[in-house]
Amino acid sequence: MNTKILGNAGEVIAQEYLKKNKYKILETNFRCKFGEIDIIATKNDVIIFVEVKSKSSKKYGLPREMVTVCKQNKIKLVALYYLQINNAFNKNCRFDVIEILDGQINHIEYAFM
């Protein structure tokens, strides 16, 4: 399966997982000049910025290992922009990673700061 199809399927799986676990999806594929965040959700008055990574095998490492420090910094910039345009700096927020490996979901809360 090509990576674009696998990635899109992973994002749909992640959205359904979050909804099932009582998260409210605010945005999907939020884009700005700084980059993109796969999913922005809220639960218990916390804004959660979610990066979704999908792989079909561990051959080249775990999906979460693809969220490098460089990628984290881009996500943080996009999150700051989102908070600014939504006047939400007074909200608590966190950064999560949802990794999907061969159909198994692993939700890593507070994956980075």
Q: pLDDT tens digits for 57-105?
A: 888 899 999 999 999 999 999 999 999 999 999 999 999 999 999 889 9
For residues 75 and 52, give the distance between their C-alpha atoms in angstroms, rounded to a whole number. Answer: 12
How far apart (Å, rounded) are the C-alpha atoms in residues 34 and 27? 16
CB atoms within 10 A of CB 105: 15
The tens digit of pLDDT for each residue in 40-54 reads 999 999 999 999 999
- Please report the pLDDT score of residue 93 as a whole number: 97
Dihedral sign of CA atoms 67, 69, 91, 45 in order: positive
pTM comes to 0.92
Domains of the chain with bracketed CATH: 3-112 (3.40.1350.10)
CB of 3 closer than 8 Å to CB of 57: no
Cα–Cα dist 70/67, whole Å? 8
The residue with greater pLDDT, 26 or 9, is 26
| pLDDT confidence of residue 33 | 95
